Amino acid sequence: MTRKRRRLLVLVVALGLLGSATALMLAAFQDSLVFFYSPSDLQAKGAPGDRSFRLGGLVEASSVTRSADGRTIAFRVTDGAHAVPVTFRGILPDLFREGQGVVTEGRMRPDGTFEARDVLAKHDETYMPREVADALKKAGRWKEGEGLRPTAVPGPAAAGGGRS
Amino acid sequence: MVMHRFANPARFLRFAAVALPWFSAAAVLCMAAGLAFGLFVSPADYQQGETVRIMYVHVPSAWMAMFAYTVVAGGSISALVWKHPLGEIVARAAAPIGTGFTLVCLVTGALWGKPMWGAWWVWDARLTSVLVLFFLYLGYMALLGAFDDPVRGGRAASILAIVGLVNVPIIKWSVDWWNTLHQPASVARMDGPAIHSSMLVPLLLMAAGFACYFAAVLLLRVRAEVAARRIRTLRLAAMEAES
């Protein structure tokens, strides 16, 4: 019985140490484990030089413009607090539209515009039929890109972070 | 503990004989109902359209991938600490099933990611941690057979399985701890599921079907392994009697 006890104790202690080590490591690498930076992160920390990085947020309403030849598209990515102008030349994912979450990859130009090489669409965790979405929108209980709200009170935009 | 009663192989075999047909029937029924509901009755999503139906396979297989790994680690713990004869057998039996679920999860995820996100694969925290889970399964199974002495192989593999257990909570909460391209949890969340009931019903049906499938195949594999060990013991005894 004591040997079983001892094995269990060793296992529990080892798992505890392993868990704390993992937690410390993940906390230390917090900044490199995020998939994208929000416009507020850029504002706070500045762009990482000439390096390529990902910028994520919502496509700002009525900010999408297309160039004359229709191949270059310009829009602003916002997280509610700050917005960054983005240009992109290429094929957009089907889900791309104003108010939709996007993650763009590219680099910052000196003039403060983000030049994207790649645009990915990010959708939220809400799933519902179109009729339900329309009814909720009509009742003012829900706005696309903000998740479902239990009441009609509009909360602060939950963009930028993981819950956009 | 209740599980200790089933740690006895003879008792377990009696339980398996009774439970196996029930789990098999429930798996077939739930999956058939879930597929019919998911493919024909449930509506298209307001933003994802018809591709949302991939969810009915992708999400249950992701859940089962994590659950099967927990079973592998739990069996390994009981094998290492209490030396239960069934612990290691259950862990060994669950590993290939879990690997299959993980593979299905990764493949359907890629098929879903391309049309919705615009990429087959991205290195965000959720996708990467699930890939790590896949490699943990492969590593566990490789270690099992890597030693001439199966007991040593079993012990090394058990330790790997237990160490890999830290990855399971990382998978679950990766979408909350870091910003990812993968969206946060839709079903298991504090303020109730963010998924309409017409889509939640087929999802839960499929999840129940996958769980029963896992249980049925696990019982089958454990039964086969117990039989194989018994044959081995009998052969050894026969050889000793001859000599």
DSSP state for residue B118 in the 8-state scheme: S
pLDDT at B163 over 50: yes
Whole-angstrom distance, CA of residue B104 vs CA of residue B62: 8
Q: Looking at the complex, does the CB of residue B90 fall below 8 Å from at least one CB of chain A?
A: no
Chain position carrying tokens 């798996």 = B27
Helix (H, G, I), strand (E, B) or coil at A69: coil
Nearest-by-CA chain A residue for B196: A128
Residue A18 lies in a domain: yes
> Could you tell me the residue range of the domain that residue A16 belongs to?
2-31
Whole-angstrom distance, CA of residue A43 vs CA of residue A53: 14
- The verdict on a CB contact (< 8 Å) between A128 and B46 is yes
Whole-angstrom distance, CA of residue B208 vs CA of residue B31: 8
> A58 to each of A81, A102, A127, how far by Cα in Å?
11, 6, 18
Please write the tens of the pLDDT for every residue from B33-69: 999 999 999 988 888 888 999 999 999 999 999 999 9
Whole-angstrom distance, CA of residue B39 vs CA of residue B50: 9
pLDDT of residue A153: 36
Contact A93/A120 with Cβ under 8 angstroms?
Answer: yes
- The verdict on a CB contact (< 8 Å) between A93 and B178 is no
| Pair type for strands A114-122 and A72-78 | unpaired
Residue A163 lies in a domain: no
pLDDT at B25 over 80: yes
pLDDT at B207 over 90: yes
Q: Where are the beta strands (DSSP E) in A32-156?
A: 53-59, 65-66, 72-78, 83-89, 101-108, 114-122
DSSP B34-86: HHHIIIIISPPBTTTBGGGGGHHHHHHHHHHHHHHHHHHHHHHHHHHHS--HH
For residue B48, the distance in angstroms to the closest alpha carbon of chain A comes to: 8
pLDDT of residue B5: 53
pTM score above 0.90: no
Report the range of poorest mean pLDDT among A141-145, B15-19, B168-172, B214-218. Answer: A141-145
Q: Looking at the complex, does the CB of residue B177 fall below 8 Å from at least one CB of chain A?
A: yes
Residue A23 lies in a domain: yes
pLDDT at B136 over 90: yes
Question: What is the tally of helices (H) and strands (E) in chain A?
Answer: 4, 6
In a mutational test of the B interface, the residue from A4, A6, A35 whose CB has the highest number of chain B CBs within 10 Å is: A35
- The verdict on a CB contact (< 8 Å) between B118 and A38 is no
Give the largest Cα separation in chain A, rounded. 80
Residue A10 lies in a domain: yes
Could you list the pLDDT tens digit for every one of the 164 residues in chain A?
688 888 888 889 999 999 999 999 888 887 778 888 888 888 888 777 778 889 999 998 888 888 887 788 999 999 888 899 999 988 888 888 888 889 999 988 888 889 999 899 988 888 888 888 888 877 776 665 554 444 333 333 333 333 33
DSSP state for residue A91 in the 8-state scheme: P
Spell out the domain ranges in chain B: 21-179+195-242
For residue B24, the distance in angstroms to the closest alpha carbon of chain A comes to: 31
For residue B184, the distance in angstroms to the closest alpha carbon of chain A comes to: 6
Whole-angstrom distance, CA of residue B230 vs CA of residue B149: 18
DSSP state for residue A77 in the 8-state scheme: E
- The verdict on a CB contact (< 8 Å) between A120 and B181 is yes
- The verdict on a CB contact (< 8 Å) between B178 and A35 is yes
* Interior angle at CA A49, CA A48 and CA A54, nearest 5: 45
In a mutational test of the B interface, the residue from A40, A127, A132, A149 whose CB has the highest number of chain B CBs within 10 Å is: A127
Q: Could you give the number of structural domains in chain A?
A: 1
pLDDT at B20 over 90: yes
B184-187, Cβ contacts within 8 angstroms, sequence gap of 24 or more: B184/A125, B184/A162, B184/A163, B185/A125, B186/A125, B186/A126, B186/A127, B187/B59
For residue A117, the distance in angstroms to the closest alpha carbon of chain B comes to: 13
Closest CA to B182 of B123, B108, B102: B123
Size of interface A-B (CB pairs under 8 A): 125
Chain position carrying tokens 């965000």 = B124
Give the tokens for residue A6. Answer: 């001892």
pLDDT at B4 over 60: no
List all residues of chain B from 200 to 229 with a beta carbon under 8 Å from chain A: none
Q: Is the complex ipTM higher than 0.95? A: no
Nearest-by-CA chain B residue for A41: B179
pLDDT at B148 over 80: yes
pLDDT of residue B213: 97
| Cross-strand partners of A101 | A58, A122
pLDDT of residue A125: 83
pLDDT at B77 over 90: yes
For residue B240, the distance in angstroms to the closest alpha carbon of chain A comes to: 32
Give the tokens for residue B201. Answer: 């019903």
Whole-angstrom distance, CA of residue A158 vs CA of residue A142: 13
